[in-house]
C-alpha cells in the first residue's frame, strides 16, 4: 500500500492496492482490498535485476520466479477500535494496519467508492536525538484507488496533513511547540496487464504505474513566538505495482531509480498458487479431508506462523496461526467445494501448500 512518507527522514514504505481478474477488462472493487483479518508477508529483493517493461494494451508476461528473500516484513490489518489511538481519527475509518518493526498505525477508509489513507500515528525521530509521537489526519484523504477501477483507470490528487504539539519532557529543547506538515501529490495509471510469475506461482495481473512527490517539514516555535524551520525534505517516488485477484495485498512492487531500472522489489511471499500448480512437500497433514465442520492442520515444524486459506478463485477466506504444531479451522460456514492453503515460516518462506474439500 502506498503510505505517507515517514517524517524526519525515516524511510518511506508504500504499496498501492489493486486486484485483478483473469481478463483484459479488469475490475477492482472494495471486496478485493484487505479486511481486518488480512496479514501479508512481504519479502524484499534488492539484488536481482528485472525490468518493468513498457505500457501496453495487450497482454504481457513477467517472469519474476527467481526472486530472493532478503528481508520479510509482516503487515497486519485490524479494526481501528482495537488500536490505542483510534479516537484521533475519523469515524469513517474501518481499517488499520501496522508493520513489523514500525511503532504506530495507518488508518484507512474502505468504501464502495474508494480505498484511502485517512491518517497515521507513529513515533518518529526528531532533531537532536529526540523522538515524538505524532497524529496526522489527511485532508483530503490520500486515495489509493477509486472504485470500481478497471484497466486504463487514472487517478491523481493532493493530500495535506499537519500536527502541532508541545515537546514536553525534552531537556534543554529550544522550542515551546513543534509543528510537522506533509503534502503528498500523486499520479496513478493502471497501464498494463498480463501474466506474472513469482516463487509462489503464476497469476493474472494488472500493473499500476505510480508517481508521487512528498514534501515533509518540521518547524519549531521559540518562547518568543518566532517560528523557524527545523527540517524540510522533498522526495520523488516512482514505482510499478502488480496485483492479482484475491491476493488481498500487493503481489509485486518494483521501486524505480529511473524509468527502466528498479532498485528494490517487494513481493508477497504468502500469496497462493493457482489450483493447477498446487504441489505438496509432505510437511503438513490436513484431516479429515474432505471435511464438513472442522479441519485440523498438524506439522512437526515449529517455525510455521500462518495458514492462509483461499477459495478456488484465489480469494483469501481465512487465516489461522499454528500453535505448538497444530491449528484447527472451523469450516462450518464455508460453502461446499475445494479450498487451497499455504503455510509460511517465520521469515515468510513458503514451506508447504495443498488443498482440501468441504462437503
pLDDT tens profile 18-32? 333 334 467 777 777
Query: Does 262 share its domain with 335?
Result: no
End-to-end Cα separation, the chain, in angstroms: 36
**pLDDT (0 to 100) of residue 10:** 27
**pLDDT (0 to 100) of residue 262:** 67
Query: Does 168 share its domain with 230?
Result: yes
Query: Does 189 share its domain with 284?
Result: no
Mean pLDDT of the 286-310 span: 85
Q: Which domain holds residue 318?
A: 275-358
Last residue of a domain, one of 268, 283, 311: 268
In a domain? residue 35: yes
Query: Does 127 share its domain with 87?
Result: yes
**Which pLDDT band holds residue 16 (cuts at 50, 70, 90)?**
very low
> How many beta carbons lie within 10 A of that of residue 356, not counting itself?
20
Count up the domains in the chain and report the number. Answer: 2
Q: Are 221 and 176 in contact (CB under 8 A)?
A: yes
The upper half-sphere exposure of residue 10, i.e. CA atoms within 13 Å in the direction of its Cβ, equals 19
Domain with residue 296: its CATH number is 2.60.40.1930
The upper half-sphere exposure of residue 5, i.e. CA atoms within 13 Å in the direction of its Cβ, equals 24
Which of 45, 114, 108, 51 lies closest to 75 in space, CA to CA? 108
- Helices marked H in the chain — which ranges? none
Query: 144-154 pLDDT, tens per residue?
Result: 888 887 789 89
Look-up of cell digits 490505542: 84
In a domain? residue 131: yes
Query: Does 211 share its domain with 258?
Result: yes
Q: Are 188 and 156 in contact (CB under 8 A)?
A: yes
In a domain? residue 11: no
Query: Does 133 share its domain with 261?
Result: yes
Residue 215 has pLDDT above 60, yes or no: yes
Question: Which residues, in sequence order, are bridge partners of residue 241?
Answer: 208, 253
Query: Does 54 share its domain with 121?
Result: yes
Q: How far apart are CA 328 and CA 320, in angstroms?
A: 8
In a domain? residue 3: no
Query: Does 71 share its domain with 151?
Result: yes
Pick the more confident residue, 273 or 61. 61
**Which pLDDT band holds residue 216 (cuts at 50, 70, 90)?**
very high
Mean pLDDT of the 206-223 span: 90
**pLDDT (0 to 100) of residue 260:** 64
**pLDDT (0 to 100) of residue 261:** 66
Q: What are the grid coordinates assigned to 80, written together?
A: 481501528
Q: What are the grid coordinates assigned to 267, written together?
A: 513481493
Residue 186 has pLDDT above 90, yes or no: yes
Mean pLDDT of the 330-353 span: 80
**pLDDT (0 to 100) of residue 101:** 62
Query: Does 110 share its domain with 249?
Result: yes
Query: Does 76 share its domain with 219?
Result: yes
Query: Does 173 share its domain with 318?
Result: no
Question: Which residues, in sequence order, are bridge partners of residue 267?
Answer: 43, 252
Residue 184 has pLDDT above 90, yes or no: yes
Query: 66-86 pLDDT, tens per residue?
Result: 888 887 777 878 888 878 778
**Cα–Cα separations (whole angstroms), residue 315 to 28, 235, 249, 307:** 13, 35, 11, 14
Pick the more confident residue, 138 or 352. 138
Mean pLDDT of the 38-56 span: 85
In a domain? residue 18: no
Question: For the chain, what percent of residues have pLDDT higher than 90?
Answer: 20
pTM above 0.75, yes or no: no
**Which pLDDT band holds residue 237 (cuts at 50, 70, 90)?**
very high
Query: 118-141 pLDDT, tens per residue?
Result: 999 887 766 666 677 888 999 999
In a domain? residue 19: no
Last residue of a domain, one of 268, 289, 308: 268
Q: How far apart are CA 243 and CA 295, in angstroms?
A: 30
In a domain? residue 230: yes
Q: Are 34 and 260 in contact (CB under 8 A)?
A: no
Query: Does 132 share its domain with 211?
Result: yes
Pick the more confident residue, 183 or 100. 183
In a domain? residue 187: yes
Q: Rounded to the nearest 5 degrees, what angle is found at the Cα of 316, between the Cα atoms of 51 and 48?
A: 20
Pick the more confident residue, 350 or 290. 290
> Over the chain, what is the mean pLDDT?
79
Last residue of a domain, one of 207, 234, 268: 268
**Cα–Cα separations (whole angstroms), residue 83 to 75, 133, 214, 294:** 15, 15, 27, 31
Amino acid at each position: 500500500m502506498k503510505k505517507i512518507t515517514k517524517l524526519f527522514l525515516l524511510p518511506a514504505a508504500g504499496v498501492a492496492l489493486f486486484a485483478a481478474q483473469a481478463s483484459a477488462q479488469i475490475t477492482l472493487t472494495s471486496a478485493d482490498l484487505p479486511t481486518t483479518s488480512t496479514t501479508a508477508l512481504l519479502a524484499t529483493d534488492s539484488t536481482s535485476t528485472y525490468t518493468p517493461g513498457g505500457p501496453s494494451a495487450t497482454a504481457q508476461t513477467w517472469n519474476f520466479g527467481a526472486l530472493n528473500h532478503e528481508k520479510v516484513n509482516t503487515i497486519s490489518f485490524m479494526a481501528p477500535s482495537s488500536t490505542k489511538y483510534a479516537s484521533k481519527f475519523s469515524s469513517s475509518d474501518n481499517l488499520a494496519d501496522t508493520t513489523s518493526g514500525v511503532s504506530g498505525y495507518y488508518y484507512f477508509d474502505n468504501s464502495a467508492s474508494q480505498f484511502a489513507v485517512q491518517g497515521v500515528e507513529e513515533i518518529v525521530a526528531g532533531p537532536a536525538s529526540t523522538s515524538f509521537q505524532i497524529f496526522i489526519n489527511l485532508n483530503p484523504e490520500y486515495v489509493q484507488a477509486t472504485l470500481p477501477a478497471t484497466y486504463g483507470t487514472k487517478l491523481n490528487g493532493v493530500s495535506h496533513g499537519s500536527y502541532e504539539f508541545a515537546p514536553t519532557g525534552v531537556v534543554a529543547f529550544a522550542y515551546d511547540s513543534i509543528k510537522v506538515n506533509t503534502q503528498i501529490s500523486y499520479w496513478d495509471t493502471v497501464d498494463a496487464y498480463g501474466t506474472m510469475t513469482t516463487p509462489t506461482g503464476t497469476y493474472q495481473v494488472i500493473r499500476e504505474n505510480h508517481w508521487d512527490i512528498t514534501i515533509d517539514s518540521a518547524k519549531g516555535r521559540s518562547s518568543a513566538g518566532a517560528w523557524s524551520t527545523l527540517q524540510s525534505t522533498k522526495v520523488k517516488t516512482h514505482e510499478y505495482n502488480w496485483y492479482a485477484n484475491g491476493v488481498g495485498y500487493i503481489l509485486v512492487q518494483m521501486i524505480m531509480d529511473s524509468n527502466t531500472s528498479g532498485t528494490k522489489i517487494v513481493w508477497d511471499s504468502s500469496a497462493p498458487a493457482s489450483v493447477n500448480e498446487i504441489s505438496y512437500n509432505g510437511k503438513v497433514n490436513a484431516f479429515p479431508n474432505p471435511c464438513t465442520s472442522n479441519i485440523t492442520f498438524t506439522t512437526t515444524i515449529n517455525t510455521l506462523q500462518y495458514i492462509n486459506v483461499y477459495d478456488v478463485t484465489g480469494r483469501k477466506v481465512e487465516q489461522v496461526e499454528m500453535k505448538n504444531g497444530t491449528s484447527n479451522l472451523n469450516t462450518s460456514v464455508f460453502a461446499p467445494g475445494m479450498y487451497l492453503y499455504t503455510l509460511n515460516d517465520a521469515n515468510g518462506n513458503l514451506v508447504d501448500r495443498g488443498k482440501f474439500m468441504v462437503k
